[in-house]
Amino acid sequence: MTSTDSEVSAPACTIDQVEHALGVIEGRWKLLIIHHLLVEQPRRFSELERAIPGVTQKMLIQQLRALEADGVVHREARPVVPPHVEYSLTEFGQALEPALNALHDWARDGRLLRRSPV
């Protein structure tokens, strides 16, 4: 162990914690939902639906409910007619911003497109 290793104050992360974290964000649409909420929030359901081409209404509802259950997204329903529901990120969800920025930078590098097939 070097002197810089002992200065690190972050707690050790177990593989179980990593697997749980990946479980929270796994799925085709969850990262896109989080991305769009990082760009602008709160967002109405219909705004998210338009922002994510290809997602079905049923799948968007399921993914938003799962993110809400995991404490990543906050859902606020206002008692008006027609129903007015807005989604925003919780503090827990906001904490994903550095990870999503890193993923964005990694994808932007273009190495994914240049990778030769195995």
**Domain contains 47:** yes
Nearest-angstrom CA–CA distance, 59 and 108: 27
Q: How many domains does the chain have?
A: 1
Instruction: Label residue 14 by pLDDT band (50, 70, 90).
Output: confident
CB 85 within 8 A of CB 40: no
Task: Say whether pTM exceeds 0.85.
Answer: no
Is the pLDDT reported for residue 17 higher than 70? yes
Is the pLDDT reported for residue 101 higher than 50? yes
**Domain contains 53:** yes
Domain range enclosing 37 = 15-97
Report percent pLDDT > 70 for the chain.
Answer: 84
**Domain contains 7:** no
Tokens in use for 34? 């989080």
Nearest-angstrom CA–CA distance, 113 and 55: 24
**Domain contains 61:** yes
| Mean pLDDT computed over 29-42 | 94
| Mean pLDDT computed over 74-99 | 93
Return the CATH number at 79.
1.10.10.10
**Domain contains 110:** no
